[in-house]
Amino acid sequence: MAHGLEDLSAREIVRRITAGGLSSAAVVEHFIARISAVNGKLNAVTVELFDSARKTAAGVDNAVERGEKLLPLAGLPVTIKECFDLAGTASTFGLPSRRDVIEDTDDPYVAALRAAGAIPIAKTNVPQLLIYTEADNPLYGRTNNPWDLQRSCGGSSGGEAALIGALASPLGLGNDIGGSLRIPAAFCGICSIRPTAGRTPDRCAHGLPVGQRGIVSQVGPMARHVEDLVMALRVLDRVRDPLIDPGPELGDPAGIDLTRLRFATITDDGEFPAAPAVQRAVAEAAQMLAAAGAWQVAWRPPPLTRASDLLFACLSADRGQAFKRMLRGNRRDRHMRRLLLSASIPPWLHGIMASALEGVGQRRSAAVLRRLSSGSAEDYWRTVEAMIDFRRELLRSLEQADDGPIDLILCPGYPLPAVCHGASILMPMPGAYAPLANVSGFPAGIVPVTRVRPGEESDRPPSRDMVDRIARETEHDSAGLPVAVQVIARPWRDHVALAAMAKIEAEARKQPEYPRRPPL
């Protein structure tokens, strides 16, 4: 087994394999051994691909010995989120009925990674139908957070984040329609990016309907180093058909002059203020960018809670009918049971029940209920139109800031550290921090900055509201958990976000509180 690989970036691993200083076989064996050591506690892996990975790695090493020209990801082991088709395996989405449906072709993004020389070594766990921010389903069970096994790894790319966070994978493939790349990355202390809407459109067909085009899921990489996101995104970006999804190729983050950038910060979206450690992380990231010459400026955004309103309205447009169809003959996860119960409430009852919930102090649950769609096509069209208006207003607010156009927004990816298992049932998406990127279509990345300090866990006041109580419980005893910052850029300026993330990462890694190694 090769030692010290957990300290190397995926890019450096590839460089050493290509140079002949490190064998792909040794790298693959290292990560297989690490998966075997930690997965009993994490339960992150759904399919092991160890034998095929060993054979492919041997082929790469033979090519190195022959002096052949190597591919950009030559010999690098990668892990794949369970929902992506990978030939010879099932893509179940947590549905027992799909356990024996074996795919004979690769998803285009999986194929792109393979064509670039990457070696899949495992597939990783997800929520049932990818719809909750917690990796748990009736087929594969629950995945745990490597920093605290009693806490969630997030979702829906939760298995990926847990495995990468546990130093058991150098690079992973996930997707994001409502925070599914960013929330798990924040919970597990790793990096990820949801690209600009249209750069990496998702083709996974057993979660939210692909035909829903108001918010389109995007495929993105997950890793422990920002430079690895850049390397992987260059490969994934080439999958897009520019005739269908036009847009510029990924720019070069190294070419960005940080001294020419303006940025704004958010730690309170007007609905769900961030925990103290999360607020500190945003402030520290802002100081890091400012020290590099970027300008922090004031920003008057449109009401950000509209992003949450629009996300819930858009994704509930069919009132759960697609989920009910796909769940036929399957045991329903407890998250799905609650979701479908809410979806079955007649639209005319939404206001009445929301008022009743508010009357007993459950204002946050009432707000979610009010956000659900009526299920009519006309309401869906109106939601999409409202989303277009929101995007324009958001761009206009950035362009017309008093101190000049704003290039970046620094904010939480999630307003709390990793939540306890089961919290996502009542607290599916607190605040507009993650929905802001999905509704706007802007590129958004996550970079870890620090960990929760003892004594700064919570300043949230006591409340009768169950969601607020869950938030307080989440913050309680959270010292030591990773805390990340979300970096949002303008459309098609993914490289600008990545440049800022790289600078924040470089400075954060100098600090003793940077989340390097989980206690696993």
**The three-state (H, E, C) secondary structure of 294-356, written as one string:** CEECCCCCCCCHHHHHHHHHHHCCCCCHHHHHHCCCCCCCHHHHHHHHHHCCCHHHHHHHHHH
CATH 3.40.50.1260 is right for the domain spanning 5-242+254-304+397-508: no
Looking up tokens 């052949």 gives 68
Question: What is the amino acid identity at position 413?
Answer: G
Under a CB-based contact definition with an 8 Å cutoff, are residues 240 and 143 in contact?
Answer: no
Q: Please check the confidence at residue 87 and state whether its pLDDT lies above 60.
A: yes
Q: Which residues contact 448 (CB under 8 A, 6 or more apart)?
A: 185, 186, 189, 190, 191, 482, 483, 484, 505, 508, 514, 515
pLDDT digits (tens, 9 = 90+) for 148-166: 999 999 999 999 999 999 9
Structure tokens at 356: 């009743």
Q: Does residue 108 sit in helix, strand or coil?
A: helix
pLDDT digits (tens, 9 = 90+) for 396-444: 999 999 999 999 999 999 999 999 999 999 998 999 999 999 999 999 9
Structure tokens at 118: 């990457």
Q: How confident is the model at residue 1, as a pLDDT?
A: 41
Q: Does residue 482 sit in helix, strand or coil?
A: strand
Percent of the chain surpassing pLDDT 70: 99
pLDDT digits (tens, 9 = 90+) for 19-64: 999 999 999 999 999 999 999 999 999 999 999 999 999 999 999 9
Q: What's the rounded Cα separation, in Å, for the pair 192 and 486?
A: 10
Q: How confident is the model at residue 205, as a pLDDT?
A: 82
Closest C-alpha among 250, 253, 126 to residue 181:
126
Domain ranges of the chain: 5-242+254-304+397-508, 305-384
- In sequence order, the β-bridge partners of residue 120 are 78
Q: Does residue 460 sit in helix, strand or coil?
A: coil
Looking up tokens 């069970």 gives 141
pLDDT digits (tens, 9 = 90+) for 488-505: 999 999 999 999 999 999
Structure tokens at 43: 């339960």
Q: What's the rounded Cα separation, in Å, for the pair 66 and 73?
A: 18
Q: What's the rounded Cα separation, in Å, for the pair 489 and 282?
A: 15
CB atoms within 10 A of CB 325: 10
Q: Please check the confidence at residue 210 and state whether its pLDDT lies above 90.
A: no
Average pLDDT, the chain: 96
Q: Please check the confidence at residue 272 and state whether its pLDDT lies above 60.
A: yes
Q: What's the rounded Cα separation, in Å, for the pair 310 and 270?
A: 16
Looking up tokens 């995926």 gives 10
Query: Per-residue confidence at 2, pLDDT binned at 50, 70, 90?
Result: low
Q: Does residue 399 sit in helix, strand or coil?
A: helix
Closest C-alpha among 164, 17, 173, 158 to residue 80:
173
Q: How confident is the model at residue 206, as a pLDDT?
A: 84
Q: What's the rounded Cα separation, in Å, for the pair 10 and 225?
A: 8
Rounded to the nearest angstrom, the gap between the alpha carbon of residue 462 and the centroid of all alpha carbons in its chain is: 30
**How do strand 119-124 and strand 45-48 relate by DSSP bridges?**
antiparallel
pLDDT digits (tens, 9 = 90+) for 309-320: 999 999 999 999
Q: Which residues contact 244 (CB under 8 A, 6 or more apart)?
A: none
Q: Which residues contact 495 (CB under 8 A, 6 or more apart)?
A: 230, 250, 251, 252, 253, 255, 256
- Cβ density class 460-496: b for 16+ within 10 Å, e for less: beeeebbbbebbbebbebbebbbbbbbbbbbbbbbbb
Query: Per-residue confidence at 138, pLDDT binned at 50, 70, 90?
Result: very high
Q: How confident is the model at residue 358, as a pLDDT?
A: 96
Residues in the chain: 520
Under a CB-based contact definition with an 8 Å cutoff, are residues 151 and 421 in contact?
Answer: yes
Structure tokens at 380: 């869906």
Closest C-alpha among 333, 337, 342 to residue 315:
342
Residues identified as active-site:
81, 156, 180
